């Protein structure tokens, strides 16, 4: 090789090294910057911040009751899921702490105030040991049972009284019923604003001879309209004042997640937030813990003239999450469900979403989809935690098809740690973006 040729290849090699080095640095910077802007630190590494010590949190693992099936059920699972949707589920989400749990000191006085608002004579109280208070009004056929611990309550009307009034008067329309139910809860001071942000669902109700309820075929034949109140809870919240906030939002929306805008207080200033939320779900997925049964107007009542029954069983949540926790993978949850560790909470072959469940015999479960939601049961919980909700159709022994829902706790309890102090996400220059 001549000196001229050597100089040529030396220059050419130098250019190649320079280009390769530049490309390497650009790729490295891109990867680092994209990682930094993917999510705030608490969603990249769970902070487990609801308790100082992990043992305190693990005392409150979710335990979800399951419906029974007959002993000859085979419990075979066939997966027909849309893997793209399952893969897009987040792996670290918020956990929330319930507030004001425990016995209310002045519960009897508070219960009397609540009873008065619902038209009962507060002094005609009957104590149910130390657990609750009861009122009965024989004139109107109504009764009220308030739990002393948390003031959750059930208002009922004798079924014959409902039938008697229904024979003479019409029901409100399906459009009017949610408004009537909302105003009723507001009038007695128990409607949290968060339950007005999602349109309530309704079911038309028939009263069966044995006193149980079933789903009516039409408004003409119905005796009541049940209004169920829903709420959403943010799984992931992105404050708009964070550096790379828009890239974070774009990253999540590219995974088929949707957001709504909200706000929160940061350093005494209100900041706009992107909330990637999911609905609260309950022991019975087609019924919530706050249900109001609306019927014909009854002018004999002092208040709640269109309301015949209320089932109110809920607790207040802290506005902000207490910490973030890592989830088991969707595939792991599906495996555990196949091994019989999920909670069957709904199995229905009739299409009647109101009638009480009767034990069924199952050949096979066909899984169609999977979601993350938050579970609030009928019993008091310390924390609001996420669950995987699996839905599909079951094949029963008689050949019928039945819609089903199965829950599985989503938090990976095996790796929960003591509280981790993470660095705060950097904010945009200029401070908070308030509005």
Out of 21-25, 56-60, 134-138, 221-225, pick the least confident: 21-25
User: What is the predicted pLDDT for the residue at 82?
Assistant: 56
pLDDT tens string 72-82: 998 888 887 65
- Are 297 and 192 found together in one domain? yes
Stated pTM of the model: 0.86
Measured between alpha carbons, how far is 403 from 365 in angstroms, rounded to an integer?
9
pLDDT at 357: 95
93 and 111 belong to one structural domain: no
Distance separating alpha carbons of residues 20 and 17, to the nearest angstrom: 5
Residue 95 and residue 115 share a domain: no
Longest CA span, the chain = 116
CA distance linking residue 222 with residue 174, whole number of Å: 11
The mean pLDDT of 408-417, rounded to a whole number, is 98
Total domains in the chain come to: 2
pLDDT the model gives residue 88: 64
Lowest model confidence (mean pLDDT) among 174-183, 240-249, 262-271: 262-271
Please report whether residue 339 resides in a domain.
yes
**Residues 199, 336 share a domain:** no
Residues 89 and 132 in one domain: no
**Is 195 a member of any domain?**
yes
Q: Are residues 328 and 199 in the same domain?
A: no
Average pLDDT over residues 186-199: 95
Q: What is the pLDDT of residues 164-176, one digit of tens each?
A: 999 999 999 999 9
Picking from 393, 403, 307, 399, the residue whose alpha carbon sits closest to that of residue 353 is 403
């Amino acid at each position: 090789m001549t000196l001229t040729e050597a100089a040529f290849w030396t220059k050419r090699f130098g250019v190649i090294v320079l280009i390769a080095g530049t490309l390497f640095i650009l790729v490295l910077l891109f990867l680092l910057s994209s990682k930094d802007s993917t999510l705030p630190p608490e969603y990249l590494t769970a902070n487990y911040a609801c308790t100082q010590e992990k043992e305190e949190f693990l005392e409150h693992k979710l335990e979800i009751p399951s419906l029974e099936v007959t002993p000859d059920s085979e419990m075979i699972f066939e997966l027909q899921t849309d893997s793209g949707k399952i893969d897009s589920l987040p792996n670290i989400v918020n956990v929330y702490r319930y507030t004001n749990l425990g016995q209310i000191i002045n519960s009897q006085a508070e219960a009397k105030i609540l009873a008065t608002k619902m038209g009962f004579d507060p002094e005609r109280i009957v104590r149910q040991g130390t657990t609750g208070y009861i009122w009965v009004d024989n004139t109107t056929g109504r009764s009220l049972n308030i739990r002393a611990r948390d003031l959750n309550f059930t208002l009922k009307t004798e079924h014959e009284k409902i039938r008697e009034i229904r024979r003479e008067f019409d029901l409100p329309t399906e459009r009017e019923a949610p408004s009537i139910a909302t105003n009723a809860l507001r009038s007695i001071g128990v409607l949290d604003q968060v339950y007005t942000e999602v349109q309530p669902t309704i079911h038309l109700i028939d009263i069966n001879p044995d006193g149980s309820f079933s789903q009516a075929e039409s408004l003409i034949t119905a005796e009541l309209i049940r209004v169920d109140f829903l709420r959403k809870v943010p799984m992931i919240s992105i404050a708009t004042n964070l550096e790379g906030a828009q890239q974070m939002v774009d990253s999540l929306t590219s995974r088929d997640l949707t957001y709504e805008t909200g706000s929160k207080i940061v350093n005494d200033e209100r900041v706009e937030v992107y909330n990637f939320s999911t609905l609260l779900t309950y022991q019975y997925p087609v019924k919530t813990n706050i249900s109001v049964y609306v019927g014909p107007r009854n002018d004999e009542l002092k208040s709640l003239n269109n309301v015949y029954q209320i089932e109110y069983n809920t607790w207040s949540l802290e506005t902000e999450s207490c910490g973030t926790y890592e989830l088991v993978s969707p595939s792991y949850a599906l495996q555990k469900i196949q091994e019989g560790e999920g909670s069957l909470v709904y199995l229905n072959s009739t299409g009647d979403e109101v009638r009480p469940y009767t034990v069924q015999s199952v050949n096979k479960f066909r899984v169609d989809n999977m979601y993350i939601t938050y579970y609030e049961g009928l019993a008091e919980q310390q924390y609001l935690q996420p669950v995987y909700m699996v839905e599909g159709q079951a094949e029963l022994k008689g050949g019928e098809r039945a819609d089903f829902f199965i829950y599985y706790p989503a938090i990976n309890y095996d790796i929960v740690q003591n509280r981790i102090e993470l660095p705060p996400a950097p904010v945009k220059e200029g401070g908070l973006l308030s509005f």
